[in-house]
Amino acid sequence: MTVTSASSKNGPQVLNFSLKEGYMRTDVDTKNGAAGMIIDFKNQQMIILMAQRQMYMIQPFNQGAIQQAAAAHQSQSDPGAVHTKPDLQETGVKETILGYECTKYTATSDRGTTEIWVTDQLGTFGGFPHGGGRPGASSQGMEQWEMALKGRNFFPLRIVTTKGGSVTTRMEVTSIEKESLPDSAFAPPAGWQKFDIGAMMGGAFPGGFPGARPSSDGNH
């Protein structure tokens, strides 16, 4: 998937998604190094990979906490804004993208209008690295259209967000390859150390966990 954001100073970013029944893995290279996240739907957890330190962290799913954190972050970044719950609507418009039939949905909120072209033939989209949001966003920077897709058997092949008549973000899958993936591709590499989340929450890493990417967008 290629991601282009009007607010990014780093240009387009390329993400690689690996999908297997019960799992999804996302890998991205940034100027700060490699970042990765494994969604383990079978065990209801996500595994955050910190390649720079050869460490990983396991975090159980807690959808309610994620939504509350996202709402709190939005209120802090723009105290005067009234953030609305995304309204996901099916348009009935269909298009074939890379050989997969997609249906167009729209999600409208105070952040703008997002067109989401999704297919039900590629499994469930688990969000972007570090809890969702645009690449480079903080773990609390989950986009509202991502919240709207949660729990649905959809994978987006094209996402276009506009506000005030201008495109703010465009994300589009550029290629799909079918191949056999071993279970080891959805687990931390052998020899990596498990990161103690209790130490992080206790203040051992006040700036965030090692390897986390800083926000590239001052609004999120």
What DSSP state is assigned to residue 18? Answer: E
**Among candidate residues 140, 159, 160, 143, the one with its CA nearest the CA of residue 215:** 140
Residue 175 makes CB contacts below 8 A (sequence gap 6+) with: 98
- Distance in angstroms (rounded) separating the CA atoms of residues 3 and 159: 9
CATH assignment at residue 129: 2.50.20.10
Predicted confidence (pLDDT) per residue in 139-168, tens digit: 344 577 777 777 788 899 999 999 988 999
What DSSP state is assigned to residue 216? Answer: S
Q: Is residue 166 part of a domain?
A: yes
Domain hosting 26: range is: 2-204
Sign of CA pseudo-dihedral 148, 150, 153, 159: positive
Q: Is residue 215 part of a domain?
A: no
Predicted confidence (pLDDT) per residue in 195-216, tens digit: 876 655 554 444 444 444 333 4
Q: Is residue 216 part of a domain?
A: no
Whether residue 6 contacts residue 93, with contact meaning beta carbons closer than 8 Å, is answered with: no
For the residues 91-102, what does the mean pLDDT come to? 96
Position 202 scores a pLDDT of 52
Whether residue 171 contacts residue 13, with contact meaning beta carbons closer than 8 Å, is answered with: no
Q: Is residue 30 part of a domain?
A: yes
Q: Is residue 115 part of a domain?
A: yes
Phi, psi of 8 (to 5 degrees): -80, 135
Both tokens assigned to 77: 């970044």
**Among candidate residues 143, 174, 135, the one with its CA nearest the CA of residue 13:** 135
For the residues 94-116, what does the mean pLDDT come to? 91
Q: Is residue 144 part of a domain?
A: yes
Count structural domains, the chain: 1
Burial of 146: CB neighbours in 10 Å, binned 0-12, 13-18, 19+: buried
- Distance in angstroms (rounded) separating the CA atoms of residues 105 and 94: 10
Q: Is residue 55 part of a domain?
A: yes
Q: Is residue 219 part of a domain?
A: no
